[in-house]
Amino acid sequence: MTQLTLVRMPTAGSPGPVPEGPGRLRAIEEADLEAVGRLYAASYPADVVGDEAAAVADIRASWAGEYGTWLHEASLLVELDRQPVAAVLTVDRPPWDDVADLVFVIDLFTHPDYRGQGLAERLVRAALAAVGPDRVVGLRVESDNGPAVRLYRRLGFRERP
């Protein structure tokens, strides 16, 4: 399993409109952090994020700037029945040397029960729109995560030279 670093250059053009979909799309607020942390834990295997408490702590650390300056307008969730079911976390100036100059999607996750409904695409398009057309946006993805790689490539992301 190899991790790819993908970037979306301003020359990639508009990512297109944010599609309509189920649930309410909105910015993550501080009051949401615990629920987003629970969603994070539910969205990944325990060997990836740890237990629920560790997942909540990691989301709080993200909010506090451990992985770069949290971009409120581009860190979003989709909620159904007032519960988050998908989220994208976006920062500026992440702490990793190879991407420190980028806006960076540090995570994108959807609860397993809500996958395949276009929520991830909706979130990424909305985050890109919030960042604006003049910034380079990067992210990392496992090369064997076919659905995610296809989504990012469709939205104009390419391997970083």
Q: What pLDDT, on a 0 to 100 scale, did the predictor assign at position 57?
A: 98
Which residues, in sequence order, are CB contacts of 7 under 8 Å at separation 6+?
Answer: 102, 136, 137, 138, 157, 158, 159, 160
pLDDT average per 10 residues of sequence, the chain (161 residues): 93 86 95 98 92 97 98 98 97 97 97 96 97 95 95 95 72
pLDDT at position 160: 87
CA distances from 130 to 37, 124, 127, 135 (A): 23, 10, 5, 11
Q: How far apart are CA 138 and CA 135, in angstroms?
A: 10
Check residue 7 and give its pLDDT.
Answer: 97
What pLDDT shows up at residue 102?
96
Give pTM, 2 decimals.
0.95
pLDDT value of position 16: 85
The pLDDT assigned to 11 comes to: 86
Structure tokens that stand for 44 in this block: 């990944």
Task: Give the pLDDT confidence score for residue 12 in this predicted structure.
Answer: 85
In angstroms, the CA 74 to CA 91 distance is 8
Q: What is the DSSP letter of 66?
A: T
